[in-house]
Structure 1
Amino acid sequence: MVRENEGKLGITWPVRELSCEQEEIKNEALNFAKSKIEERQKGIFVIGGQAGTGKSVLVTALFNEIQAACKDKSSIFSGTNNYVLVNHPEMLKFYKRVAGESPMLLKKNFDRPTSFINRIHKSVEQVDIVIIDEAHLLLTKKDAYNHFYQENQLQEILKYARIVILIFDNKQVLKAKSYWSKQKLVAILGGDNVKIRHLQEQFRIEANTDVQNWISDFCSEKIDQLPAKQKFDFRIMNDAKRMYELIKTHEKTVGLSRLLATYDFPYRLDGNDYFVKAGNLSLRWDRSKPQESLAWAERADTIDEVGSVYTIQGFDLNYAGIILGPSLGYDEQLDKIVVRSELYEDQAAFNGIKHLGTNIEAAKERLILNALNVLLTRARKGLYIYAVDSKLRKKLLQN
């Protein structure tokens, strides 16, 4: 069981018990896979759910049950060849660690989509079940930088897998090259042999619904009155260094507490340190350490760093301090948040955006707001926000 102060990063085997909703959807996915194997048909099972609805916990339990049945000669899953794919290096570390703690799982059955696709193309291997966590991160166009040379990762996986189970949240799409619309998903999946279910219950944020509603509205460019005081510690900060001190205090007492920032500060993968500068605070961005077996927020040294959306997506924290950079401002006349995409440092996120066939600026704003949503939905026990833009900070403090 997971201890009370642990999030996904602190998980140990066995994983925590599933809720009734998770158990029901897990069983539906299993029965769906069984029926497709018996009928010798292809099938796609989509599990939707917003941040904090327990998608990755469900994936772990589902795959563990499939792999246990794989070793049972009397099971329909006996001898099947199955994989979990995730297009996120930190999440892959998490799954491989879970595999190392489970008697039923092997690390080799967890992989990145590109590695899987490139290997399967060479071997022309047919697989039975592929579960894709964070499927909203699948590439929807060529990406030579990541060694993907086909047109769409989901389409490639569907060529070689009999059953695909997708874990999907369209509010967590962060790049134009993995931009998914409902129309695109439906076009790829088709209407036959497809089942879609949604997780609704929130497990991460230990707060009243007014906090969740405030975050949702904020990520839609609206600023509501602050939620009423409650057990969940929600604060707007006027001092970035003070916010960092609070986070360090929580790290000492309950752990899993980190600073995060919108991608509004320069960063390069060249081995040098780059810094997030917000008010009276200057702290380095997270250092790239792909060889580390532990995820970023698990490592003790990262309390001295600021995490990005790419570092923390998919994971829980106990307390999160969020720095809103210059790309997020406030329009006093319209009384709404202003998104300045030209100030967003992750301009690579917009590569290929002209080919989406939609309003380019609106699409850029949507990607930035999706990234904001990921950051603001990490915390279980407390969330602190500091805005670099003085007008936005003033407005938030007034509320």
Structure 2
Amino acid sequence: MLPEKAQLTCEQQTIQQQVLAFIAAHCRDSQAAVFVLEGDAGTGKSALLSAVFSAVQKQARTSGGKLAGTTNRLLVNHNEMLKIYWEVASQAQWLHKADFQKPTPFINAGHKADVVFIDEAQLLLSQPDPFNRFRQTNQLTELLKLAHVVVLVLDLHQVTKLKSLWTPAMIKQTLAGHVVQRVQLTGQLRMQSPTVAAWVDAFASGRLLPPPHPANYQLRVFEDGVPLYDWIKEMNRQHGLARVLATADFPFRVYTKDPWYVQAGKLRLPWDRVNFTDRPWASQPQTINEVGSIYTIQGFDLNYAGVILGPSVDYEAKTDRITIDPARFEDQTAFRRRPDGTDSTADRTAIIFHVINILLKRGRMGLGLYAVNAALRQRLLAL
């Protein structure tokens, strides 16, 4: 995500005006009108949303503004992303920390808003979750009851849990009867190489292509986790914001005093810990000695990402494709059974591919890979 004053691209500026016009046209509607902004990881959705929200809040808090006196909120169902927005608010004249919340407390409070912005809308719960104090059918339906306009930022390739499993059909059914405008962001802004972004797209769909060798991006494969870590430490010294990440294929328990470790060949590093501070995980210097996960890195831009592909990610020589074994994926909370029965092997496989896609697209300037499974590692090295 980019700070409020970051320069938007021409595509982003055009869409920003479309969103603002949509809000102005529907901010008094009796039934929520919905603007859906879609785009792949790294296309600048959050940066655009931040700019639009700041513009709306400036109008809301300026006497005589088009939206003067309106109440607006930005929601995101991800702790680390919420902290990023809090940092943005601390640097922006028109934003307050209280403008940003998680969806569940906003819904449970029952307070209505004129415009509700939802970043990473694919993380909204799509089933009851009593543990998180959400007992209704799905969060999007509840949010539609509480606003005149809802702005959804959505990427269904970043769904990482069955309890927030959304499909195009589910979105269409939930939005039926509402005024809806859809726009797609297409430009890849995080990864400096479009050819590497296309290679990752293929990888996250199970296809292994010959890796590109762009002049402005480092794509490296390592024989062991130790040289991967050494490379990340050197990139962090040179450029900052370089971190080791991993798929959730290594044992861990939340809220324990003792660390849980990621084993990548000869490398043994502790998992990230629960972050009780207001600073995002990757912006804390000591986390260079930890391994990040989607829980700490989703929505955050790194300069370099060193990604460990764990035991659930393998390779089948006969088909020349990446294979997924959900039984070896340690984040079993991601697979908590749904009452509607939506927890097939295909659903679980898709979630793991989504995790891979998220992790591999974190780095702006470089990506390093180490695969725990020898078959996949050797195939990557051969390519």
Q: TM-score, normalised by structure 2?
A: 0.97
Give the counterpart letter for 1:186 in structure 2.
K
Partner of 2:191: 205
- Secondary structure at 1:47 match in 2: strand
Q: Deviations 1:148-183 (Å, cap 9, x if unpaired)?
A: 111100111111111100000000000000001000
3-state secondary structure, aligned to 2:145: helix
Tell me, yes or no, if structure 1 residue 180 matches structure 2 residue 166: yes
CA contact (8 A) 2:126 2:138 kept: yes
- 1:391 counterpart = 2:352: no
SS of alignment partner, residue 27 of structure 2? helix
Aligned amino acid, residue 283 of structure 1: L
Query: For structure 1, which segment, 298-307 or 182-191, has the greater mean C-alpha deviation from structure 2 after superposition?
Result: 182-191
Q: 1:86 aligns with which of 64, 76, 82?
A: 76
Gaps in structure 1 of 5+ consecutive residues = 1-7
Paired with 1:190 and 1:127, the residues of 2 have a C-alpha distance of 21
Report what 1:98 is aligned to. Answer: 88
1:337 to 322, 330, 334: 322
Contact 1:171 1:370 in 2 (8 A): yes
Deviation at 1:39, TM superposition (A): 5.2
User: Per-residue CA shift, 1:5-36, capped at 9, x if unaligned?
Assistant: xxx4xx55x43111111111111111111111
Residues 336-366 of structure 1 deviation map (CA, whole Å, 9 limit, x = unaligned): 11101100001111112572557x0111100
SS in structure 2 at match of 1:301: helix
1:380 corresponds to: 364
Compute the RMSD of aligned alpha carbons: 1.4
Shift of residue 40 of structure 1? 5.0
User: What does residue 17 of structure 2 align with?
Assistant: 27
Cα distance in 2, alignment partners of residues 233 and 204 from structure 1: 14
Q: What's the secondary structure of 1:35's corresponding residue? A: helix
- Matched residue, 1:3: none
Indicate the residue corresponding to 1:260 in structure 2.
245
C-alpha deviation, 1:334, in angstroms: 1.7
**Distance in 2 (alpha carbons) for counterparts of 1:126 and 1:387:** 48
- Superposition TM-score, scaled by structure 1 size: 0.93
2:263 is paired with a residue whose SS is strand
How far apart in 1 are the matches of 2:133 and 2:113?
Answer: 22
Measured in 1, the distance between the counterparts of 2:239 and 2:132 equals 37
Q: Distance in 2 between matches of 1:39 and 1:173?
A: 30
Give secondary structure in 1 for the equivalent of 2:12.
helix
Judge conservation of contact 2:32–2:178 (CA < 8 Å) in 1. no
8 Å Cα contact 2:315-2:321 kept in structure 1: yes
Q: Is structure 2 residue 56 aligned with structure 1 residue 66?
A: yes
Residue of structure 1 aligned with 2:205, choices 212, 220, 230: 220
Q: 2:150, 2:22 → 1: CA distance?
A: 11
- 1:4 counterpart residue number: none
The aligned residue for residue 349 of structure 2 is 365
- After TM superposition, the runs of 4+ consecutive aligned structure 1 residues lying more than 6 A away are none
Q: 1:92 to 1:25 in 2, by over 3 A?
A: same
Q: Which residue of the other structure, out of 145, 152, 156, is the alignment partner of 2:142?
A: 156
Separation of aligned partners in 2, 1:210 and 1:191: 40
Cα pair 2:76 2:118 within 8 Å, conserved: yes
Q: How far has the Cα of 1:398 moved from its partner?
A: 0.6
Counterpart among 285, 297, 300 of residue 312 in structure 1: 297
Deviations 1:192-244 (A, max 9, x none): 4110001111110011x321221111111111112135220001111210110
**Is residue 2:310 matched to residue 1:325?**
yes
Q: What per-residue deviation string (whole Å, max 9, x for no partner) do you get for residues 235-288 of structure 1?
A: 111121011011001111110000000000001012320000010100000011
2:130 to 131, 136, 144: 144
Q: Structure 1 counterpart of 2:139, which letter?
A: Q
The one-letter code sitting in structure 1 at the alignment partner of 2:215 is: Q
Percent identity of equivalent pairs: 41
